[in-house]
Amino acid sequence: MSTTFQLDTSTSRAHPTPQPMRRLTIPAIRRRKVDGVTAEPIVMLTAYTARQAQLLDAHCDLLLVGDSLGQVIYGLDSSVPVTLDMMIAHGAAVVRGSYHAAVIVDLPFGTYEASPEAAFATASRVLKETGAAGVKLEGGAAMGETVAFLNARGVPVMGHVGLTPQAVNVLGGYNARGRSDAEADKIVSDAKALDEAGAFAIVVEGVVEPIAVAVTKAVSCPTIGIGGSVECDGQVLVTEDMLGMFERVPRFVKRYEDLASVISKAAETYAAEVRSRTFPTPEQTYQPR
């Protein structure tokens, strides 16, 4: 038995509740790919809050606390300004709101690139303060030594190649990568380097499809596609994108719902009832006994 925090839907508060330990583990995720084949694709979505995590948990193998929260939650132009404190606060909330999925937290820009030692200081703090199962970092062969360093010291690492949002200032935008032979070769070699360094999985983002397929075939660990290929070993999307919370829809996103319209309509109805004094009714007020 282990004590976890379960969200009480009747109060919206998290309470410590003894539960059997059933959360998916990183080795279990890694073992999904056997001899280059993943019979059961890996499902990953982003989550930034406890309630969101609770709603997604039963359906996902992995919940990613992505630094995309910079744009999605905080309205920033990119993920570059995201701080470690932000990631830890949201990571802890997602762990509290989940029970089944393994939670992975992005290491934000500037907190791990300087050296393997700097990366370990950041990653160890993330794991201690959130309870997450692992971390994700961007970069290819240049991060190989860091991934090996972290892995050897008990920190599971998910890699990230192709379109790497933290490098948007170098890349010059969010365009698809791998259109030239040189860039395609580099993406594949970067993935191989991360795999050899011990990454338990690799996100392959925003690359032309043949490159995503080539990466998936070239590495022994599972690949998680986002704007990659259906042949990747799993898929991830930003949850708010697939729920239709924003007007702009990236090419690689399928909208499964239009929650923005639902929320806007509910707010419109509420506002009309407040202005017409039809809300609250006696059912929503406390009357004398």
Does the annotation flag 68 for ligand binding?
yes
- At residue 1, the pLDDT reads 28
Query: Residue-wise over 158-175: b if at least 16 C-beta within 10 A, else e?
Result: bbbbbbbbbebeeeeeee
Which residue, 81, 157, 150, 92, is CA-closest to 121?
Answer: 150
Return the half-sphere exposure (C-beta side, CA atoms, 13 A cut-off) of residue 77: 3
Angle at CA of residue 198, ends 209 and 58, nearest 5°: 70
Rounded to an integer, what is the distance from CA 148 to the centroid of its chain? 22
Q: Name the more confident of 234 and 16.
A: 234
State the CATH architecture for 2-284: Alpha-Beta Barrel (3.20)
pLDDT at 174 over 70: no
What are the backbone dihedrals phi and psi of residue 182, each rounded to the nearest 5 degrees, phi first? -65, -45
Q: Which pLDDT band holds residue 165 (cuts at 50, 70, 90)?
A: confident
Q: Which pLDDT band holds residue 178 (cuts at 50, 70, 90)?
A: low
The mean pLDDT of the chain is 92
pLDDT tens digits, one per residue of 45-83: 999 999 999 999 999 999 999 999 999 999 999 999 999
Q: Name the more confident of 250 and 165.
A: 250
Does the annotation flag 138 for ligand binding?
yes
Mean pLDDT, range 103-110, rounded to an integer: 98
pLDDT at 177 over 90: no
- At residue 275, the pLDDT reads 98
- At residue 13, the pLDDT reads 64
Give 190-250 as a DSSP string. Answer: HHHHHHHHT-SEEEEESB-HHHHHHHHHH-SS-EEEESS-TTSSEEEE-HHHHTT-SS---
Does the annotation flag 77 for ligand binding?
no
Does the annotation flag 113 for ligand binding?
no
Which residue, 85, 15, 9, 117, is CA-closest to 54?
Answer: 9
Please state, for a pLDDT cut of 70, what percent of the chain lies above it. 90
- At residue 179, the pLDDT reads 87
- At residue 22, the pLDDT reads 79
Q: What is the C-alpha separation between 146 and 157, in angstroms, rounded?
A: 10
pLDDT at 7 over 60: yes
Q: Where are the domains of the chain?
A: 2-284
Do residues 186 and 162 make contact, with C-beta atoms less than 8 angstroms apart?
Answer: no
- At residue 14, the pLDDT reads 63
Residues designated catalytic: 205
Q: What are the tokens at 95? A: 């762990």
pLDDT at 187 over 70: yes
pLDDT tens digits, one per residue of 110-157: 999 999 999 999 999 999 999 999 999 999 999 999 999 999 999 999
pLDDT tens digits, one per residue of 253-265: 999 999 999 999 9
Does the annotation flag 106 for ligand binding?
yes
Q: Terminal CA-to-CA distance of the chain, rounded, Å?
A: 46
Query: Where are the alpha helices (H) located in the chain, listed in sequence order?
Result: 26-30, 50-57, 69-72, 84-97, 116-130, 144-152, 168-171, 181-197, 209-218, 239-242, 259-275
Angle at CA of residue 115, ends 113 and 119, nearest 5°: 70
- pTM of the model as a whole: 0.91
- At residue 155, the pLDDT reads 98
